[in-house]
Amino acid sequence: MRLVLISGMSGSGKSVALNVLEDAGFFCVDNLPAPLLPQLVGHLREAGTSRVAVAVDVRSGKSMSALPPMMGVLRNGTQLQTLFLDARDDALIARFSETRRRHPLGDDETSLGEAIRHEREMLAPIVALGHRIDTSDLPSAVLRKWVRELVQIDETSGLTLMFESFGFKHGIPLDADLVFDVRCLPNPYYDTSLRPQTGCDQPVIDYLERSPEVLRMRDDIARFVRDWLPCYIKDSRSYLTVAIGCTGGQHRSVYMAQWLAEHFRSAARVLLRHRSLAASGK
């Protein structure tokens, strides 16, 4: 049986992720109390269900504390994949304000900000149990695409290496494991002919590759990842996200992430994300 476990902050997009899996043919259960997971899995296994997705979050209350020790049991006989959806506090507050929905931990005496802080404390023990996705600035369509890419990965076959470009002006992604800052490199933005283009476009690539500093940093980052990748694999990691940041997330970081993704495709399963481009619709 393949079991995808979804958790994360309220308002981070768990319903979107669960809908993607349901559309992909998974048997989906939302808001299941954590102690009932083994019973559900056992029942569905006997029924011949091969793909299951379950959302477990703070709506389960204190029973959430049972989830971390239970995951070792769930791995016996199942191919377990865990996704943790997260977002910055300001993004979560904006979403709740737009929908006018009440936070699961909110009441007449608790502000929305306080409820979010309390939720983070409750979820802290499980953040590192799965792959973390920062949905702060992501359109729903992009989140759906990323979830579809992730659930197609066979987790039993090793580590998935993700290269992610971003703009520092939007903040460092919450899901980054390693962060490299390339803002010191020559910026194509100041060439008016290159400004509307991205690091995926050949004129920008040519501009950057004419700079010895770009080539040196590119090779240094590749060497660092290559040298330490075996240690992350040995640590039984399922995912390693390498985030490359420049000012706006359009030129330098995009080029660097693209090049690194191609460079490592023969060494690991690679996924590529351009966070700022996705948020801007480019």
Known binding-site residue numbers for GTP: 57-60
- The rounded distance, in Å, linking the Cα atoms of 22 and 160 is 23
**Residue numbering of the annotated binding site for ATP:** 8-15
- The rounded distance, in Å, linking the Cα atoms of 129 and 113 is 25
Question: Is residue 83 within 8 Å of 6, Cβ to Cβ?
Answer: yes
Question: Is residue 171 within 8 Å of 88, Cβ to Cβ?
Answer: yes
- Which contacts qualify for 201-204: CB closer than 8 Å, 24 or more apart? 204/251, 204/255
- The rounded distance, in Å, linking the Cα atoms of 134 and 143 is 9
Distant-in-sequence, close-in-space partners of 224: CB < 8 Å, separation ≥ 6? none
- The rounded distance, in Å, linking the Cα atoms of 268 and 161 is 6
DSSP category for residue 26: -
Question: Is residue 213 within 8 Å of 160, Cβ to Cβ?
Answer: no
Q: Which residues pair with 28 in a beta bridge?
A: 53
**Residue numbering of the annotated binding site:** 8-15, 57-60
Residue 21 identity (one-letter amino acid): L
